[in-house]
Amino acid sequence: MKASDRQELAKTITPPLQKEYGPPPPEADRPVLETLIFSVLLEDLPLETAEQAYESLTTAFFDLNEIRVSTIAEISATLKGLPRPELRAHRIRTVLQTVFEDGYTFTLEPIRKKTLEQAQKTLEGIRDLSTFSRQYTLQHALSGHAVPVDGTTGRAAVWLGLAEGDEETGGIDEEAIADALKSAIRKADAPEFNHLLRAFATDERFKDLFGKKWSIPEGGYDPADAAARLKKTLADPSAGLPPAKKKAAKPKAAAKPKAAKTPADDADDADDAAKTSDAQGEEAKSADAKSADAKSAGTKTSGGKTAAKSSKSPAKAAKKSAKGAAKSSAKS
């Protein structure tokens, strides 16, 4: 989307948001360091919630140095009810430790005298800070031209058609969205636009829309119907939810092709066939032998007498032959 088209879209959606959420509250006059700490508490939350958390934090400890030397558990205990309290506590303590090590004081006021580019480099030197915290401090404490975007306001910007996200995962690039909005929103209008975008994104009625049910429909959110969609959703929060995406059917796994036989495989097959043939031949011989034994046994059982007679006949013949030979020798 061109910057000019994005600018026109922002102008179109601003009136219904102004009607719904009103003008921004008076700007809190905080020093640079305290503004940076407040930005850590504000990320992804309504303004009122962050104000309460900041009050709880600053009243629970004597001063900023006591926060610096406290444990993450002690700091996060004052942030009960906030999402990711340990991460917020870690970032706050890191900010204080970095500033203290740089000049053994708890102030960032000297960067007001620097150019915005130099001030931004100073903020970038503080480790573990989010891009949102740096951009928020530039806008609210240093009067720089920035449109700070966190995860929640970034999703709202995508829903309004002001930016794009990943349709498959619903992921967004917060820094890229902030740069795109900066080119479309005038510096004088940026604080109010940020107020309206945050009020809409953190509205309790839309916690599902920009929270656990967040998704991007196929083709993204159409900027052309953003204003009409916004008015309809403000009247009926459920109207803003995109249609459920159909899960693509898993393709069936293709059958694995049979591997081509090698000469070694053919030789193995021939050996197996020969062994099978030999085994079948042995089985046949065994069967014939058993059959012959069965017949022999049957003959002895049924014809025992005949066999006995047959065995006696040769003996009688031998005796007759001997008698005949004796008579013949006597005559001679």
Q: Which residues contact 26 (CB under 8 A, 6 or more apart)?
A: none
Render 225-248 in DSSP notation, one character per residue: GHHHHHHHHHH-GGGGSPPPPPPP
Structural domain contains residue 136: yes
Can you give the pLDDT at residue 306?
A: 40
Banded model confidence at residue 212, pLDDT cuts 50, 70, 90: confident
Q: What is the CATH number of the domain that holds 205?
A: 1.10.340.30
Check residue 257 and report its DSSP letter. P
The yes-or-no verdict on residue 171 having pLDDT over 90 is yes
Can you give the pLDDT at residue 322?
A: 45
Over residues 114-162, the pLDDT tens digits come to 999 999 999 999 999 999 999 999 999 999 999 999 999 999 999 999 9
Task: Check residues 54 and 213 and name the one with the higher pLDDT.
Answer: 54
Structural domain contains residue 87: yes
* pTM beyond cutoff 0.85: no
Banded model confidence at residue 241, pLDDT cuts 50, 70, 90: confident
Average pLDDT across the chain, whole number: 83
Q: How far apart are CA 133 and CA 150, in angstroms?
A: 9
With a pLDDT cut of 90, the percent of the chain lying above it is 67
Structural domain contains residue 37: yes
Rg, Å, the chain Cα set: 49
261-288 burial, b at 16+ Cβ within 10 Å, e below that, comes to eeeeeeeeeeeeeeeeeeeeeeeeeeee
Q: Which residues contact 127 (CB under 8 A, 6 or more apart)?
A: 94, 98
Structural domain contains residue 276: no
Structural domain contains residue 7: yes
Over residues 82-95, the pLDDT tens digits come to 999 999 999 999 99
Structural domain contains residue 20: yes
User: 13: closest CA among 221, 255, 173, 269?
Assistant: 221
Angle at 196 between CA 190 and CA 202, to 5 degrees: 130
Domain containing residue 49: 3-240
What's the number of domains the chain is made of? Answer: 1
Structural domain contains residue 197: yes
From residue 220, alpha-carbon distances to 44, 157, 174, 290 in Å are 22, 12, 17, 85
Structural domain contains residue 287: no
